[in-house]
Amino acid sequence: MSASKMISTFNPRHVVTIDQVGVEERVAKFKTRSIKKESKVAALKLALNMIDLTTLEGKDTEGKVRQLCFKAMHPHDALPGIPTVAAICVYPSMVRVAKKALEGSKIQVASVSTAFPSGQAPLQVKLDDTRFAVDEGADEIDMVISRGEFLKGNYNFVFDEIAAIKEACGKAHLKVILETGELCTLDNVRIASEIAMHAGGDFIKTSTGKVQPAATMEVTLVMLEAIRDFYYATGKMIGMKPAGGIRESKQALHYLVMLRETLGQAWMSNEWFRFGASVLANDILMQLVKEQTGIYQSHDYFSID
């Protein structure tokens, strides 16, 4: 089926409006939740288990990817009873390496595609990019939307492109990166979320990590609310992945509070929520060690991969 034959089920006139000041106030309230003791430990473990451990550099090597995969499976063996991360996120050229390194584990391999991070390529190139990653063994595809076309108001183009990539994904899960740092307004974030969900995305994701600002709680809240409304309208659950800029455990806890109070129990696992992050993992480990021993250890006690 070609992209042009997909019928857009998305109508921008039916999209709820967003008041930025109100969103900021709600976010501030999430941040005042006090998370202590056993509640904190449980949340830290959950957050670790939701991480898509990421390396997306031009200078990535196979060796670095292998090291990252080992870290994913063994975040900190000195501390018993901690979970693995959810997935490794790499460029398509590294998918095969990661897949092999993770053999026997339950950790997923996610690959960015569609001319990540800019998405400035023809559809055919994006389709080939996606099929290559899937053929190499990627379990999940993180695509970028065409922000230029979106900002022009060419929503059908964006919709059709996502639908076509979804088709190319086959069994792989599709995460749709909105690159909210380039969408200018929260209203646009809401519209882009609706398009991505209606066009077949399994997850919606904030950012590539290559544009500032990357994930913010405000943007994530708007997307979680879009997921909630989509769920009520269709019965279909969509996953959420804030990515970029979440570096500290405390931030991760704030995101989990927001997730809990916006979507509730059903979304509180890595099947439905992911953190796209790299340094966050070590900060969580440091906090977990501190909760157990009462002492903050220096960075040198945690492996950097």
Partner 1 sequence: MAKDKKPAAIGLQFDTDWQYAPSPESRDHIQLKEQYELFIGGQWVKPESGKYFDTINPATEEKIARIAEASKADVDKAVRAARNAYDKYWKNMSPKDRGKYIFRIARMLQEKAREFAVIETMDGGKPIRESRDVDVPLAANHFFYYAGWADKLEYAFPNRRPEPLGVAGQIIPWNFPLLMAAWKLAPALATGNCVVLKPAETTSLTALKLAELIQEADLPPGVVNIITGFGATGAELVNHPDVDKIAFTGSTDVGKIIQRAIAGTHKKVTLELGGKAANIIFEDAPLDQAVEGIVNGIYFNQGHVCCAGSRLFVQEGVYDTVVRKLKDRMETLIVGDPLDKNTDVGAINSASQLKTIQEYIRIGQVEGAEMFQNACALPKKGYWCRPTLFLGASQSHRIVQEEIFGPVLAVQTFRTVDEVIEKANNTNYGLSAGVWTDKGSKIFQVSSKLRAGVIWGNTYNKFDPASPFGGYKESGFGREGGLHGLGAYLRF
Residues that bind partner 1 (CB under 8 A): 16-19, 21-23, 25-26, 32-40, 42-43, 46, 49, 86, 106, 225, 228-229, 231-232, 235, 237, 256, 260-261, 263-266, 268-271
Instruction: Given the residues 126, 166, 175, 205, select the one marked as catalytic.
Output: 205
Residue with Cβ nearer partner 1 (32 or 124)? 32
- Minimum distance from residue 26 beta carbon to partner 1 (Å): 5
Instruction: Given the residues 99, 139, 241, 283, select the one marked as catalytic.
Output: 241
77: left (phi over 0), alpha (psi -120 to 50) or beta: alpha
Identity (one letter) of the amino acid at 235? Answer: G
Residue with Cβ nearer partner 1 (42 or 125)? 42
For the four alpha carbons of 72, 76, 77 and 82, in that order, the dihedral sign comes to negative
CA proximity to 183, closest of 169, 194, 198, 199: 194
Residue with Cβ nearer partner 1 (144 or 222)? 222
To the nearest 10°, report the CA torsion of 55, 268, 34, 251. 20
**Coil/strand/helix, residue 44:** helix
CA proximity to 221, closest of 182, 176, 263: 263
How far is residue 225's CA from residue 37's CA, in Å, rounded to a whole number? 29
- Minimum distance from residue 51 beta carbon to partner 1 (Å): 13
Is 241 assigned a catalytic role? yes
Instruction: Given the residues 52, 129, 139, 142, select the one marked as catalytic.
Output: 142
- Minimum distance from residue 234 beta carbon to partner 1 (Å): 9
| Residue 271: count of CB within 10 angstroms of its CB | 13
Residue with Cβ nearer partner 1 (168 or 284)? 284
- Minimum distance from residue 299 beta carbon to partner 1 (Å): 28
Give phi and psi for 108, each to the nearest 5. -85, 155
Q: Where in the sequence numbering do the catalytic residues fall?
A: 142, 205, 241
